[in-house]
Structure 1
Amino acid sequence: GVFEKKINLKDAISEISNTKEKITAQLIVSGATQKAKRTRAISILNSIFGFSIGLKSEFGRNILDCFVETKDIKKELLNLVKILGAGGLIFVPMDKKSEFAEELEKFLIENGIKVKAFLKPDKKTFEDFKSGNLDALIGMVTTRSPLVRGIDLPARIRYAIFGGVPKFVVRIKIEEFHPTKWLMLLNNLQQAIKEEYKKEYQLLVANLIKIKTLNTEQLEAVRKALAENKNLEGFLEFVRKVALSGLEFFKKILKDEDILKAIRESPTISFSEREGEYSFLIPDSIAYIQASGRTSRLYIGGVTKGLSVVIIDEKKAFNSLKKDLSYFEDIEWKNLKEIDLKKVIEEIDEDRKKVLLSLEDKLRVEETKIALKTRLFIVESPTKVKTIARFFGKPAKKRYEGLIVNEVFGANSLLIITSSKGHITDLSEEEGFFGVEVKETFIPYNEPIRKCAVCGKEIEENEKECACGSKKFTDSKPRIEVLREIASLVDEVIIGTDPDSEGERIAFDLCLLLKPFNKNIKRARFHEVTKKEIHRVLENLEDFDLNLVKAQLVRRIEDRWIGFSISPVLWMVFKNKRLSAGRVQTPVLGWVVERTKKLKEKEELISLKLENGLQLQFRAKKGTYQKISKEGFVEIKKVKTFKEEISPLPPFTTDTFISALTSLLKIDAGEAMQIAQKLFESGLITYHRTPSTTVSSAGISIAKEYIFSNFGEELFKARKWETEGAHECIRPTKAIDSQKLRNLIGLKILRFPVPFTEREMRAYDLIFKRFIASQMKPSKVEKIKFKILAGGQEKEFEFVNKVLEEGFSKIFKLQEKNILALKEGKTKILESKKKTVPVFYPFTYSEIVSMMKEKGIGRPSTYAKILEILKRRKYVKEVKKSMLVSTVLGRKVFEFSQQNFSKYLHEQTTKKLEEDMDSVETGKKKFEEVLREIFVQVKEIIKNNLEKGVEYPNLSLVRF
């Protein structure tokens, strides 16, 4: 039974633990397949040795990617081989078929080139090329080609030539139905799809993603059923229906003249029509990366330089290839005729000489870039670890006492990547004055932080139970010990926590903890988790910013001192040790309390449908509806039609993002920030805790690329939206909209460490559209403005009547009224209804966060946290969707705090403190000066409380 299985599992774990202790040797396993990863034997070895199988990485590319245009591919190819010499790979696109490869072989041999087609694995041909008996090999450019995936000869392979753009043909035919190829085609066609077909397009994409794992046998069965018009059963019947709906969709859109025009005019869609049959050319970007990658390989001197030349046979296909590659590689294409080819060849050959010397162990040390340098790279979260590790290939994973590390090879080092899992220390509750030694200066005492063993949340002071209900806590001491052990074994420690004051504090804590074990510790700051950015920061490491650290220390010490000085009073009065007060949480609680008091006030929400077709809704005092019903008409006055230019909103900051997303998804602020965190750590958006709307030049380039491609250059208008500070707005890291993202994930062109939910996709869509709109021209509209007199009440209305000239409204649709003519005078009411509603609604998360930003209390990193604390303390509760009201306890605590501590917890006091912290962050004010002011206030609070009989621990260190 289950009990016996548990006993057996415990025995097995105990035996593994005992076996580990006896291991004194290292085991190195090398193989050519990943299939072993799923076997029981490998699982047992993983448990014993604490590792997982990794893949050999491509180590980055050191390739000059070039193109050349010609009318004669064969002659151009012959000319290139003669110039470049031996050591080449020649690739033929799949649309030209293997016959063209054989034609090339014959043509080149006739012209004195020693070459052979390598269309299937052939040991003799391989050895002839390796030994120099052959100048070049010819193969097909597909991920299944032996020339693309099976050759690693850094000393021999110097260049790759593509006899045409890497691509294949997709035909809309039953007998060629293939889910993955159709997905690739739909991905190519996306920008040509009209709004009326969008939902159908999205459904087809979603269904094709569900069925793309079909094996060959299943695919043939479906094709046969389609050809014979027969039904199938179960999953295969679903596949058959998806295929039929796909065929119908393609037929429909390819009869639409607007779509055909868009396809013909598109710079990236290649298609042809013959006797009603449509064929499309789809670029094979993955095959290009793998094939060209044969020219640039890792050796002890670094990564060899390679040359890749694409002979363009189809301009649109080449444009499409460049676009697809931009989603996962940063390639700068060069025209072959504009480069110094002689110099490039010299650099390539110099590297090959070094490879040969290294094979003979004759390469001088100063000529090597890799000298077994090891680097421990610490970030905050496991998700970020996975994202970064994937930039360097498939990582090998190891487990050190519960801490998982990913090992990968960079271009010049072995990177050991792991996470601190957030804060690793916090102020002591026992030492000093509430965790701080107070003398001429202020010295914080830190200790390992406590976290819930079940959900991983940090446990606050005096809490005996986590919000999830668990009473099992762990501290970070074992994690610290493991990090110290690894740090002592590496050449360098790099700390890459978040680029704000909180991230700097975590980084500095880690630095202090690891410094005795490794003196070489550096800081890496990145505002986006992308391959380009990570490579950049690893080459440009920085020192720690002590001003940021001090600002965060002020924030934490102030929070601790105020909390520990006021909270005991609340515990005594309310007999509840879960209560707390704070400089930010108390004013925010006050807003909710005051709004809750006003909820009983009611008014009427009146909806009218008029004889002229106009539908209006407005609020009015009680009794207005009765008067309107009695009159039976409204009077329209002061009608004015005018033109106006509407500008887009700036990109998101933390507060505007929380406001928008909580309103859109009806979620709380904490959930909104969790979604943003996941998008950031997966590399899709820039850092999400930011007060700035500033757009970098890289951001403007992303917007420009997308707008030019999808709407035309006339709608692009670059804006920097500059604000003070080094931060940037929240924006996408690539020119990929949410539908394209779905397509690329479905095709496995883009892979992420964690799957995305529909909510996360909608959040990304919101960020993307807001950012792109911010870089588009204003929209010119016709507005209509008028007043109505109804039931003795005068109400004013203003609408966008119609869009006259598109701008950002192309991506953010404006609601148009389309009122043809509106005459002044009395108009009969056809329909009317009334609803009694509150004059004031409860605050939403978005409104509270906006108020915090507007009033200058709280910071991007604390907005969500403050609201979470208020909910956890049961001061406020959520009603309906994302609305907050105060509880009886919340009202009483606030009123008590106002009566006794308003001087210290007032909005203005909090705002001044936030400004002081900003001054510490910028170096304008000393942190000791700010803490001294706070200390005086805290002493005053405690002295007054002691007189009322409140008890405090550890006060002997301070005079009162």
Structure 2
Amino acid sequence: MIKRLLVVESPGKVKKLSQILGSDWKVLASCGHIRELSNEGDDSLGFVMDGSNVRCNYIPRDQRAKETIQKLKSAVRQVDEVVLATDPDREGETIAWHLKETLGLREPKRVIYTEITASAVQSAIANPRKLDQNLIGAGLCRDCLDKLVGYKGSPLVWALNNGAKSVGRVQSATLHLICQRENEILAFVPQDYWSVWVDYAEGFRAFYKGTVDSAKDAAEQEPETHDDAKVGNSPETPESKRVLSEAEATRLVEEAQRHPHQVIHFEGKIVNRQPPPPFTTSSLQQAAGSKLRFAPDKTMIVAQKLYEAGLITYMRTDSVMLSPEFCASARKWLEQNDPPNVPSQVAKHRSSKSAQEAHEAIRPTDVFRPSVQLRLELPDDEFNLYVMIWKRSIASQCRAAQLRKTFVITQSGSLLWSARGQVIEFYGYARYWNNLSKDSVLPSLQQGQTLKLENAGHEQKQTQPPPRYSEPKLVQLMERKGIGRPSTYAPTVATLKKRNYVELKKDHLQPTALGLEVDAFLLKALPDLLEAEFTAKMEDALDAISEGKNSWQHYLTSWNQNYFVPALSKAKTVVASSPTGKAHVITERKYETSKTRCPECKNFLAKIPSSKVKKKYFLKCTKGCENVVLFWSDFNKTWQPPQAKTVQTENQQKPPVKMTAYPCPVCKKPLEEYSYIKEGQSKKMLRCCDPQSRKDTKHKDVAYFSTQKGWWSPKFGELNC
């Protein structure tokens, strides 16, 4: 007789939990959210604000949710006790509340665990708690906020009549970051500069640093930080202090050649590089994007499968804390497999201020689980992500890496030159998570040592525009600016792509013309909604509600009355600013500039996107020369104007067909000489003169082409007559 029912979110957990709990338990899944705000009431919001009170009207999300509810109600009637085990976050707590309300549960037991292992689940069952009303309030407030902004704000962009679909509390602020960067790139004006260097016979290159009077102490070095969004470990190419003219660069080279060189400062020291913290949701998405080339939403889908399989802890977290049990287990693994890497004291990592410290970082549930066995059991994506999580977790418990850093300053006349070196003395954590730059060796030098100049020169360079954001970099930026929370990073990026506001080009996010137009309009209509600080304050308010520091109903009604209602009224004046009533946004559509100049005005032509041409764009002059349009010719490998189409009139006759004395190898009728155009060139071939015979499949290979020796067919060979 089944006595107890455990309700979880994902059906992927059911089998594993059933094995752990045994036959006394029935495990069912809600399949995520079962209810949503209805589309009833004013503006179809599904909730009513009356003074400082909010009344919500929730309904089943869809037909599947209705069937799930009926199945759960039937199961509730057959058991003595119901335990809610939805995910351990704000969203999971809200789903548990919906289950309580829908199933008519009075005081259900709520259990949480961050890993699906026997010990964690059984411990959670033994220590249930009540539903957290503060977390539920924050979840309900977020529901209402998102629908309020979406349903009230989206009609504003519909008036643009350009295909724009939605406005969002987190979505629009994130789009603004991407559009801001794009506008910086479009406004960027490159400048030439020169990097000046000297090569010494002792075996190293130094770069111009300044003069004795103007140069500051060059021994200052910026501390290295762990950047999970960075691709590769290569250091930036060293450069000199920027020289702004070739004449000055030449003068510096000549002065370097005139004066003797000597070492005036040499410094060498051992620097400890502390291990990185274990993964949070954000850093996991960044690392999976840079190392495995996963989109944020794919990272979360794969991580969800690993969690449901009991292989990793819960994957939505902003904490870097690890349980004492795991730390002890990781230390034991290191003692058995890598004794030199066992630290005397594990590095301490700080979570963000808003992190929920009750959660753990993302880590493997069993550090001793053989990877050889998992390699056979898991698909490639799941295995690769698991190994990455395992390596990062172990690395966080290792000794620091040790780097021998060297720094030298040389002098010639009044000029100073500098060079840096780095050698990895002890890899430490980098054996598992290598984010160290490669060795760059400087020779051992002495203070006052004379150096032999081997060569001196300069290299012309050009300033580069800021790069577009990759998906990992965007997630990193969202976290730094407080836009969204761990559960919203991936869906937000996915929504922007789905709405056609941004597109992924060469692994970087670029706003579409639609995205730029929507952002430009919102900058006039609802500017606060685009500010990262504004959106971050809203997230902080939700966190305060979840901690019991504020009433969610009071916050929502105050925010709506004091900010959103006046803001919407102002925004509607932008929509009504044109005689047609449509939103009127004065924006000049900006296109990427090509390196080809207009043949008339000599300005650089714009790249106009088009899916109908092979290169996916054509060139057009946007400076007033309306008839200048160029298309790429694969034959000539140049940009050319479109060829005029020739219209054949009734009076025009086809060129006469020349009959030959050669017989068709199939039907023995004469072959005719046929002229045609291929790749812009006039060509000739021989084919059967009978049109009806040419339709016969036996004639499909009857085609002779001109060669230096005569006529040749791929099937019938040389034509001899």
What TM-score bracket applies, with the shorter chain setting the length? 0.5 to 0.7
User: Is 1:807 aligned to residue 428 of structure 2?
Assistant: yes
Aligned to 2:330: 703
1:697: Cα distance to partner?
0.9
Letter matched to residue 3 of structure 2? T
User: Is 1:596 aligned to residue 182 of structure 2?
Assistant: yes
Aligned to 1:858: 484
Aligned to 1:886: 511
User: Is 1:667 aligned to residue 278 of structure 2?
Assistant: no
Aligned to 1:817: 439
1:630: Cα distance to partner?
11
3-state SS in 2 of match to 1:783: strand
Letter matched to residue 846 of structure 1? P
User: Is 1:938 aligned to residue 549 of structure 2?
Assistant: no
Letter matched to residue 447 of structure 1? I
1:846: Cα distance to partner?
2.0
Contact preservation (8 Å) 1:655, 1:849 = yes
Contact preservation (8 Å) 1:492, 1:520 = no
User: Is 1:437 aligned to residue 44 of structure 2?
Assistant: no
Specify which of 128, 138, 145 is matched with residue 541 of structure 1: 128
1:504: Cα distance to partner?
0.9
Percent of pairs identical after alignment? 27
1:597: Cα distance to partner?
2.4
Partners of 1:603 and 1:430 in 2: CA distance: 58
1:908: Cα distance to partner?
2.3
Taking a change above 3 Å as real, the CA distance of residues 838 and 550 of structure 1, as seen in their structure-2 partners, is same
1:793: Cα distance to partner?
12
1:782: Cα distance to partner?
0.9
Aligned to 2:169: 583
Specify which of 114, 126, 139 is matched with residue 527 of structure 1: 114
Letter matched to residue 701 of structure 1? A
Letter matched to residue 920 of structure 1? I
Partners of 2:288 and 2:118 in 1: CA distance: 28
Contact preservation (8 Å) 2:524, 2:571 = no
Deviations 1:812-867 (A, max 9, x none): 34445262516585754699998878431111222222222222221111111111
Aligned to 2:382: 760
Contact preservation (8 Å) 1:781, 1:800 = yes
Higher helix share: 1
1:907: Cα distance to partner?
2.3
With the length of structure 2 as denominator, give the TM-score of the two structures: 0.65
1:900: Cα distance to partner?
1.3
3-state SS in 2 of match to 1:489: coil
Contact preservation (8 Å) 1:566, 1:941 = no
Partners of 1:795 and 1:448 in 2: CA distance: 71
Aligned to 2:597: none
3-state SS in 2 of match to 1:529: coil
Letter matched to residue 154 of structure 2? S
Aligned to 1:617: 237
Partners of 1:391 and 1:789 in 2: CA distance: 72
Taking a change above 3 Å as real, the CA distance of residues 891 and 744 of structure 1, as seen in their structure-2 partners, is closer
1:894: Cα distance to partner?
0.9
Specify which of 351, 360, 372 is matched with residue 728 of structure 1: 360
1:547: Cα distance to partner?
0.8
1:662: Cα distance to partner?
0.9
Aligned to 1:185: none
Letter matched to residue 405 of structure 2? K
Aligned to 2:395: 773
Partners of 1:389 and 1:901 in 2: CA distance: 50
1:592: Cα distance to partner?
0.9
Letter matched to residue 101 of structure 2? L
3-state SS in 2 of match to 1:617: coil
Letter matched to residue 666 of structure 1? R
Partners of 1:479 and 1:607 in 2: CA distance: 71
Aligned to 1:742: 372
1:384: Cα distance to partner?
1.7
Partners of 2:11 and 2:196 in 1: CA distance: 52
Specify which of 500, 506, 512 is matched with residue 95 of structure 2: 506
Deviations 1:311-363 (A, max 9, x none): xxxxxxxxxxxxxxxxxxxxxxxxxxxxxxxxxxxxxxxxxxxxxxxxxxxxx
3-state SS in 2 of match to 1:476: helix
Letter matched to residue 513 of structure 1? T
Contact preservation (8 Å) 1:857, 1:911 = yes
Partners of 2:340 and 2:554 in 1: CA distance: 53
Partners of 2:567 and 2:456 in 1: CA distance: 65
1:912: Cα distance to partner?
1.6
3-state SS in 2 of match to 1:819: coil
3-state SS in 2 of match to 1:890: helix
The residue correspondences of 1:288-687 to structure 2 (distance < 5 A) are 372-391=1-20, 408-409=22-23, 413=24, 415-431=25-41, 434-440=45-51, 441-450=53-62, 475-515=64-104, 519=106, 521-576=108-163, 578-599=164-185, 601=188, 602=190, 617-618=237-238, 638-687=265-314
Letter matched to residue 4 of structure 2? R
Letter matched to residue 596 of structure 1? E
User: Is 1:689 aligned to residue 316 of structure 2?
Assistant: yes
1:896: Cα distance to partner?
0.9
Taking a change above 3 Å as real, the CA distance of residues 609 and 584 of structure 1, as seen in their structure-2 partners, is farther
Partners of 1:636 and 1:926 in 2: CA distance: 70
The residue correspondences of 1:898-909 to structure 2 (distance < 5 A) are 898-909=523-534
1:619: Cα distance to partner?
6.1
Structure 1: state its 5+ residue gaps: 1-371, 393-407, 451-473, 747-754, 951-960
Contact preservation (8 Å) 1:695, 1:720 = no
Partners of 2:453 and 2:326 in 1: CA distance: 51
With the length of structure 1 as denominator, give the TM-score of the two structures: 0.50
Partners of 2:384 and 2:546 in 1: CA distance: 35
User: Is 1:784 aligned to residue 411 of structure 2?
Assistant: no
1:655: Cα distance to partner?
1.5
Letter matched to residue 300 of structure 2? M
3-state SS in 1 of match to 2:159: helix
Taking a change above 3 Å as real, the CA distance of residues 741 and 888 of structure 1, as seen in their structure-2 partners, is same
Taking a change above 3 Å as real, the CA distance of residues 946 and 799 of structure 1, as seen in their structure-2 partners, is same
1:579: Cα distance to partner?
2.0
1:949: Cα distance to partner?
7.6
1:799: Cα distance to partner?
4.5
1:573: Cα distance to partner?
2.2
Aligned to 1:297: none
Taking a change above 3 Å as real, the CA distance of residues 645 and 513 of structure 1, as seen in their structure-2 partners, is same
3-state SS in 2 of match to 1:574: coil
* Count of residues paired in the alignment: 521
Which deviates the most, 695-704 or 622-631? 622-631
Partners of 2:293 and 2:415 in 1: CA distance: 34
Aligned to 1:87: none
Deviations 1:240-272 (A, max 9, x none): xxxxxxxxxxxxxxxxxxxxxxxxxxxxxxxxx
Partners of 1:678 and 1:834 in 2: CA distance: 51
Partners of 1:374 and 1:607 in 2: CA distance: 80
Partners of 1:622 and 1:443 in 2: CA distance: 66
3-state SS in 2 of match to 1:693: coil
Aligned to 1:315: none
Contact preservation (8 Å) 1:583, 1:906 = no
Letter matched to residue 379 of structure 1? V
1:760: Cα distance to partner?
2.7
Deviations 1:645-703 (A, max 9, x none): 22112222222222222111223211222222222222122112111111221221221
Contact preservation (8 Å) 1:603, 1:619 = no
Contact preservation (8 Å) 1:652, 1:730 = yes
Contact preservation (8 Å) 1:606, 1:618 = no
Partners of 1:480 and 1:796 in 2: CA distance: 71
Structure having greater relative contact order (Cα 8 Å, sep ≥ 6): 2
3-state SS in 2 of match to 1:573: coil
